[in-house]
Structure 1
């Protein structure tokens, strides 16, 4: 399986070079997508507009529609999630929305276009430090440069890729779809996020005489169950993880169960991949090929062909400490946190909560707990301030429902505290001591669940 850049249309390689027997339905054979691509191109032929919203959960449907957009000279716009508010907002920024499947069309098709390296391939969205979605275009030459680095470090010869993550985000798009597409390797996804399905897919790859490669995340690997007979299935050639740093104990446990190296990739939507590590050997992050690093105090600067402007230095919002040829991560320098690999703006959560008619103000807090979930401290108008369990429960459920139209479920705060006034110091900043007291009951069952007043100490909730 030879790597071919996207700008050279690798999906047009002969089917017999890319179609491998022995894999059941649900697997995508890159060289066997021609008919589905033609169906999408015929559907698009009678329509105008350059930017089309693409939100397909199944990798085969996604890949065929993506290629059809490219071969018709269009740009795929990928929403970060499928929340109603997200999709409704983006429909005003695109020329059309692709349906779940194309309607039959007898349109006469022009020859397919070969993408220009300088053309925009996809548009992705990510949260900025203010919580407002940031639109980011990725050219074909940016994607090709990063895919070439993947192919050099982690070739897919005689492999099949199993993805447990969404292809609507840059990591899942690159590692789970575009890397196998550019090398002709079969791949699958969608339902593979469940451990039992992952085990079945590993068995399918083994029966086809191939070696599995797993594209995963900390959320998946931290919950790897011991009860499944992992030794009965083929060991992956490697397991990838990205979206957030993987706890060292989870990395070791996943390597033990799957009998494969766990390789973490650090990066962002803006930068693409920056560095990689295998914690079983070293916790230090090592830069990917072609990524140049510099350090300014605790801030990371980089130059890379994966960036929109390759020759300019980019300042990453994470704090770092140089270590040899690489670095250690120290945490975020802004108010964007990672929850189960999802980037969540605390400011955006706060603004959304404050828009509720019952709420005066709100603060969202990363409590640094092992479950990774957020806390929320809210102040309510007098008639809405809950004074008993039933009214408190009703208020919180209403706020959770409001957030559910804007955020994925995992990003909604789990721990809630209602207070008379926000626990701030004289400078107007959150008082971490008071915050700790508000949530003390999470670690000490004897501590009362409190609501607080600036005028006095926390008092127990009724």
Structure 2
């Protein structure tokens, strides 16, 4: 089969009956009957825009085509959360059920279907939703000519003849829709999805494709490829022809890992819902991105602009909010110029998260930060009203659960911040900003199991400093100190005082002796405390206090570099 545009109704051509794939595979032979079932159901229903949110790829694809052939427009929500569907239901003319079978009346089944309508290139095919810079859902319409232009570019670079497509990503988003459903639909090849997101199911589908003589193509994402388990017998399974990844740049080590396990080229696609595809790369051949066929690029002031037939206005330059640097082979991505980040391939507005959290009664101010960690999860720095500041593990945990619950009605679970820091005031640099250095310090304990959790500091004068800290629940020094009642050893409290004094007072001198040391209370995991440091002629004085009272105090005599006492 060769590629044909959507406007030529490729699913209506003669089906290929030589392949023995069965559900959950979607084949040309199985699809036509399902399309007509949906068209029967739509007889007598209102026209206009219909909400389409089917998880099953065959029902999704058949319902999508039935909407098109009956002159309707498909509206694809970004997720299937009840809140999202309820909000969009008032904006459309109808919502499709999960499947047509249980809803088709006898009259509809026996009624002769009207002729299917032609698909005009300039008419709207789908409406998608994506988050803008404010986090509010932005509605984007895609015409048939936009979709056909991008599908033709894919077919030019990566033809599907003799293949089948295994998709691990949602067809509700533009990437999964184009690569996992519409490209195989226009090429007349089988495809499958939904449960293929699990590695074990992916392995089974690879074998099924090979059993009927088809070369599999895998549509995946960074989140999926980064978690490919090594224990599955990939070397014994048929290798894919190629593997696609999109949604966010794939770390080089994960690209190498995926190519090694699957023994196939991993091709990354870069783009957005607004622009469609922009560029592609294979990191095994180079880190630079190269534009897709028909995409014109312009780099000005470090940012990317483009023109293509995939855009709503093909003649107008689109300013992409990404910083880039030109290279001999193409361009390098340097990060977002706005405050929208991608978490597990999903676009998330940091401003939106901050807006939702700041509306919480306990919260005065919020900063949501992309930590750049391997798990891709966000951090949240929260300024609370004094009476709401948590001072122990249980209250901190309960507060986090309340904030997560509030965000859960607005965000998918993976987009909710995973790491939380509750501060008295936002730490700031000399320019009054929470810069990357301060962000790194706030979350440094994630990678240092020996350090307390730093939450800020006050310096009333050059000789004194009060740090606000917490005892991390995963502090390595808690191990072996009473399983039923873990506590911070006294020697660790003293060590923290010495080390943090060195940071606060620019290495005041080498340790010489401890004086007037007194322990009054144990310090437990999750407790918020202050470390007060005072610089003295012969060293430092320190005191550790919490809501419970004083835990520890003493003096540390330090030696200067010239060999004498500090002074």
TM over 0.5, yes or no?
Answer: yes
2:310 matched to which residue of 1? 306
Secondary structure class of the residue paired with 1:379:
strand
**Is 2:51–2:76's contact at 8 Å kept on the other side of the alignment?**
yes
Question: How much does 1:426 deviate?
Answer: 6.7
2:80 matched to which residue of 1? 82
1:451 and 2:455 are equivalent in the alignment:
yes
Question: How much does 1:255 deviate?
Answer: 1.0
2:253 matched to which residue of 1? 249
Secondary structure class of the residue paired with 2:227:
coil
C-alpha distance in 1 between matches for 2:89 and 2:299:
40
1:412 and 2:416 are equivalent in the alignment:
yes
Secondary structure class of the residue paired with 1:273:
strand
1:334-349 → structure 2 map (5 Å cutoff): 334-349=338-353
Question: How much does 1:325 deviate?
Answer: 4.8
What is the alpha-carbon root mean square deviation over aligned residues? 1.5
**Is 1:354–1:360's contact at 8 Å kept on the other side of the alignment?**
yes
Question: How much does 1:35 deviate?
Answer: 2.0
1:14 matched to which residue of 2? 14
1:232 matched to which residue of 2? 236
1:125-144 → structure 2 map (5 Å cutoff): 125-144=129-148
C-alpha deviations, 1:22-55, integer Å up to 9, x for none?
2232000134322221221122222214111111
Q: Which moved more, 1:99-108 or 1:5-14?
A: 99-108
**Is 2:26–2:191's contact at 8 Å kept on the other side of the alignment?**
yes
Task: Evaluate the alpha carbon distance shift between residue 83 and residue 199 of structure 1 in structure 2; reply closer, same or farther with a 3 A threshold.
Answer: same
Secondary structure class of the residue paired with 1:33:
helix
Question: How much does 1:432 deviate?
Answer: 3.2
C-alpha deviations, 1:320-341, integer Å up to 9, x for none?
1111251111111110111111
Secondary structure class of the residue paired with 1:377:
strand
1:115-264 → structure 2 map (5 Å cutoff): 115-264=119-268
Secondary structure class of the residue paired with 1:331:
strand
Question: How much does 1:76 deviate?
Answer: 0.5
2:376 matched to which residue of 1? 372
**Is 2:165–2:219's contact at 8 Å kept on the other side of the alignment?**
yes
**Is 2:50–2:92's contact at 8 Å kept on the other side of the alignment?**
yes
Task: Evaluate the alpha carbon distance shift between residue 177 and residue 334 of structure 1 in structure 2; reply closer, same or farther with a 3 A threshold.
Answer: same
C-alpha deviations, 1:367-392, integer Å up to 9, x for none?
11122111001122333221211111
2:433 matched to which residue of 1? 429
C-alpha distance in 1 between matches for 2:445 and 2:326:
38
Task: Evaluate the alpha carbon distance shift between residue 457 and residue 301 of structure 1 in structure 2; reply closer, same or farther with a 3 A threshold.
Answer: farther
C-alpha distance in 2 between matches for 1:275 and 1:22:
36
1:26 matched to which residue of 2? 24
Q: Which moved more, 1:54-63 or 1:44-53?
A: 44-53
1:327 matched to which residue of 2? 331
**Is 2:128–2:173's contact at 8 Å kept on the other side of the alignment?**
yes
C-alpha distance in 1 between matches for 2:364 and 2:457:
14
1:284 and 2:282 are equivalent in the alignment:
no
Question: How much does 1:425 deviate?
Answer: 4.8
Mark the structure with the bigger radius of gyration: 2
**Is 1:117–1:140's contact at 8 Å kept on the other side of the alignment?**
yes
Question: How much does 1:282 deviate?
Answer: 1.2
Question: How much does 1:235 deviate?
Answer: 0.8
Q: Which moved more, 1:384-393 or 1:64-73?
A: 384-393
C-alpha distance in 1 between matches for 2:346 and 2:88:
19
1:45 matched to which residue of 2? 43
1:391 and 2:392 are equivalent in the alignment:
no
1:460 matched to which residue of 2? 469
C-alpha distance in 2 between matches for 1:359 and 1:84:
27
**Is 1:441–1:449's contact at 8 Å kept on the other side of the alignment?**
yes
**Is 1:20–1:29's contact at 8 Å kept on the other side of the alignment?**
no
Question: How much does 1:184 deviate?
Answer: 0.5
Question: How much does 1:443 deviate?
Answer: 1.7
Question: How much does 1:405 deviate?
Answer: 1.8
C-alpha distance in 2 between matches for 1:20 and 1:3:
19
C-alpha distance in 1 between matches for 2:4 and 2:442:
56
TM-score by length of 2: 0.79
Q: Which runs of 5+ in 1 are unaligned?
A: none
C-alpha deviations, 1:271-291, integer Å up to 9, x for none?
111111111111111111101
Of structures 1 and 2, the one with the larger relative CO (CA 8 A, separation 6+) is 1
C-alpha distance in 2 between matches for 1:422 and 1:88:
37
Q: Which moved more, 1:153-162 or 1:371-380?
A: 371-380
